[in-house]
Structure 1
Amino acid sequence: MIRILLADDHPIFRYGLRAVLDSDPETELVGEAGSGEEAIELTLRLRPDVVLMDITMPGLNGVEATRRILAELPGTNILIVTMYDDSASVFAALRAGARGYLIKGADREEMLRAVRAAAAGQAILSPAAAHHLTTQIATPRPGRQLFPELTAREHDILHLMAAGYTNPAIAERAGLSAKTVRNYISTILTKLNATSRAEAIARARAAGLDDPRP
């Protein structure tokens, strides 16, 4: 029996995945977490065989939660299950020590195969995540920039957002007007397909873009 902890802040997704796991005689859902902090607490207490971890959650993001769990329990098998298939998120998760990376929308059999592979200590990547990895290996670029869809200025603004700067502080540091900063942030959200500033910041921090010096 593979004991599984599910960490995701969307109740509907947890409900669907719970049904998948309950339908398989080889898996047992032992706990559910709705935040990164709760995922850490439950993992340390329940010691599951596999943790299914979302990236964007309230408070602590899934990548940082993965990093902290593995610092305490190095043998934990963590499988990222997320809607993001950008290269920055994939590499951030793998650098944190995740066993694999799966995109939400995977069918029942793909999900169960991934769970079994993770429980066996195998690396598992969705086709999209594998593509990002192989492309990066095949075409190395010195000084690879996270979120390449952003301009250099937009990248700097996102960097400051992730570091916790408010709009007025960003404007002062970047030498821009408050209106210009708002326009930049709006463009950043559009390019990243982020629904809110908080979501953009969570993705940037998950990718390690939270050093206050862009």
Structure 2
Amino acid sequence: MAIRVLVYDDNEALRASIGVLIDGEEGMELLAALPNAETVETDIRQLQPDVVLMDIDMPVVNGVTAVQRIRAIDASLPVIMLTIFDDTDNIFQAVCAGASGYLLKQYITDELSGAIRMVLAGGAPMTGSVAKKVLTMVPRAAVTQPEANGLSEKETAILQLLVQGYSYKMMATELGVSIDTIRFHIKKIYDKLHVHSAAGAVSRAIRDKLV
């Protein structure tokens, strides 16, 4: 079954370009490309996308507010932000709102298809420069307190990789364990942080300075 993608962006040319990228990618289907997110709740319920691509700077309803509205009705639907902004404030707001990933528009030709597949595999895809800025929000000193918030040392290490955008497969390779082991620890992390998705875990990690 094709990956069903819903796009929100007020730039008509970019919407068309994203549509071409998605339609040209085997195993992906563009459901709709809309200029704003005013009807986002209705869109989600009617179209039932697997992944949402969301611009931040849009009229009527901006991307951060749209993500918050999506999270109010669906805690686990992957939402990847597409934006020209890579400043810390925008990144922080988007992640804390519940965004699953964050890509800069100038790199979407090379990164979009991989990011869509990564987010569906449980990762949190981010353009490299964005990932570096996310890490600057996270004090490294917290790593010395692995039992804070009930997380074990291994769970803290996995949460840190999740923040960096690693997929389950990448985590397993990095830590030398099986994907099933990663899934087991991720479930425990979700339970301890009272979240239901990678986006929620990343948001808590940054907000509460857990890693």
Same fold by TM-score, threshold 0.5 exceeded? yes
Q: For 1:126 and 1:107, how far apart are their aligned partners in 2? A: 9
The whole-number CA distance in structure 1 between the counterparts of 2:61 and 2:119 is 23
Whole-angstrom distance in 1 between the partners of 2:118 and 2:94: 17
Per the TM alignment, residue 107 of structure 1 is displaced from its structure 2 partner at its CA by 4.5
Pair 1:122 & 2:116 matched = no
Question: Is 2:32 the counterpart of 1:58?
Answer: no
Please give the per-residue CA displacement for 1:61-116, whole angstroms capped at 9, x wherever unaligned: 10110011111011210000001000000010000111000000114331110111
What 5-or-longer segments of structure 1 have no aligned partner? Answer: 141-214
Aligned to 2:184: none
Distance 1:19 1:64 in 2: 27
Determine if contact 2:9/2:15 at 8 Å carries over to the other structure: yes
What code does the residue aligned with 1:104 have?
Answer: K
Question: For 2:44 and 2:33, how far apart are their aligned partners in 1?
Answer: 10
Query: What RMSD in Å do the two structures reach over aligned CA positions?
Result: 1.5
User: Which residue does the alignment assign to 1:28?
Assistant: 29
> Match of 1:75?
76
**Structure 2 counterpart of 1:123, one-letter code:** A
Is residue 40 of structure 2 the alignment partner of residue 39 of structure 1? yes
**Partner-residue secondary structure (3-state), 1:37:** coil
Structure 2 unaligned residues grouped into runs of 5+: 142-211
* 2:132 maps to 1:131: yes
Give me the TM-score of the superposition, normalised by structure 1: 0.62
Aligned to 1:150: none
Answer whether contact 1:80 1:100 (CA < 8 A) is retained.
Answer: yes
- Deviation by residue 1:146-195 (Cα, 9 ceiling, x = unmatched): xxxxxxxxxxxxxxxxxxxxxxxxxxxxxxxxxxxxxxxxxxxxxxxxxx
CA distance in 2, matches of 1:120, 1:27: 15
> 1:121 Cα deviation (Å)?
2.7
Tell me by how many angstroms 1:57 deviates. 0.7
Amino acid at match of 1:88: D
CA offsets 1:14-36 (integer angstroms, 9 cap, x no match): 01111111111111001122112
Deviation track 1:126-151 (CA, whole Å, cap 9, x = no partner) reads 112111111222479xxxxxxxxxxx
Would you say 1:95 and 2:92 are equivalent positions? no
Q: Which residue is 2:185 aligned to?
A: none
Pairwise CA distance, 1:40: 3.3
Q: Distance in 1 between matches of 2:110 and 2:40?
A: 25
Answer yes or no: is the 8 Å Cα contact 2:41–2:73 preserved in 1. Answer: no
How far the C-alpha of 1:10 sits from its partner, in A, is: 0.6
Number of residue equivalences: 140
Deviation, structure 1 residue 44:
2.4
Letter in structure 1 aligned against 2:116: V
